[in-house]
Amino acid sequence: MELLQQLTFLERGIAAGLLIGFISPLIGAFLLVRRMTIISEGLSHVTLTGITAGVLMTQTTVLFAGVNPLYMGLLFSLAGSLLIEKLRQVYQHFQELAIPIILSAGVGLSAVLISMTQSSYTEWYSYLFGSIITVTLNDLIFIFVTGIAAMIIVGLFYKELLSISFDQEFAVTSGISVKRINFIFSVLIALVISMSMKVVGILLVGALITLPVAAAILFAKSFRHVLILGILFGEAAVLGGVISSYYFNVATGGMIVAAGIFILVSAAFVRKLMDLSAKRVRKEQLS
């Protein structure tokens, strides 16, 4: 705790970003296998609803004065993830409806609550697009606690999460409680979404979950490789984005996403060159 207190605002932003860059692709790999990467967009807007509710409560209720709005964002994200899972069960033949329903509700409620608050444009801008200079000590502690919790969950239930992600029917026959693991995975997603708000921003958190994994699958030969490469690309995107946003004085989240896109485009270009080289070698061997 004393070490965190000694960090400067830039060091706090980098420390938070590195942890987020590690966790986000880790969850993104599981979402990719499940073909559910879009869920991050829906939950990010629900989290915004929670944050706006938290800001409003701190402004109107003495009991909640000084309480970090990110805590309320986490609660709403947890509720949203569980509601998505419930809606997927209700619409078994149209499960893709669950996310647009939650996303629409999150956007609508956020707009109503934001209009009721007295916060400045700058504060909402940092929540929407991220900002390293607004990461406080309390924010950093929140990010570290939720990040550690997320890593513990992945470590404890890695095999179960992997089994359900690849073959749910096999997982059921193996005696795995699919409902319980899906609930745990929902909690995991909510933790990652809520912890990423301050650095990446609500509107851009889905990109950090998706882009590093999208680059990783171009080279990976196994799921473990996807995890390792995704984390490396995620950390590279965060470092490049945070440092460049500081020196160019632009939105942190936007620069992180720009760095992620650059990595993805570069990875696709390298992959294309590798494929062309492999074809040329095969032609030479045949001739």
Note the helical H segments in 9-134. Answer: 9-34, 39-60, 69-90, 98-116, 121-129
Contact 41, 201 (CB under 8 A): no
Mean per-residue pLDDT, 102-131? 76
More reliable by pLDDT, 63 or 182:
182
Question: What is the percentage of the chain residues whose pLDDT exceeds 90?
Answer: 10
Residue 98: predicted pLDDT: 77
CA distances from 183 to 82, 86, 96, 123, 235 (A): 7, 10, 18, 32, 28
Mean pLDDT estimate for the chain: 81
Residue 1: predicted pLDDT: 57
Single pTM value for the model:
0.81
Residue 121: predicted pLDDT: 63
Domains of the chain listed by start with CATH number: 2-206 (1.10.3470.10)
pLDDT tens readout for residues 127-158: 777 777 777 788 788 888 888 888 888 888 88
Residue 46: predicted pLDDT: 85
Residue with tokens 């979950």: 209
pLDDT tens readout for residues 250-265: 777 888 889 999 999 9
Query: In one letter, which amino acid is 113?
Result: L
Mean per-residue pLDDT, 66-77? 79
Mean per-residue pLDDT, 47-51? 85
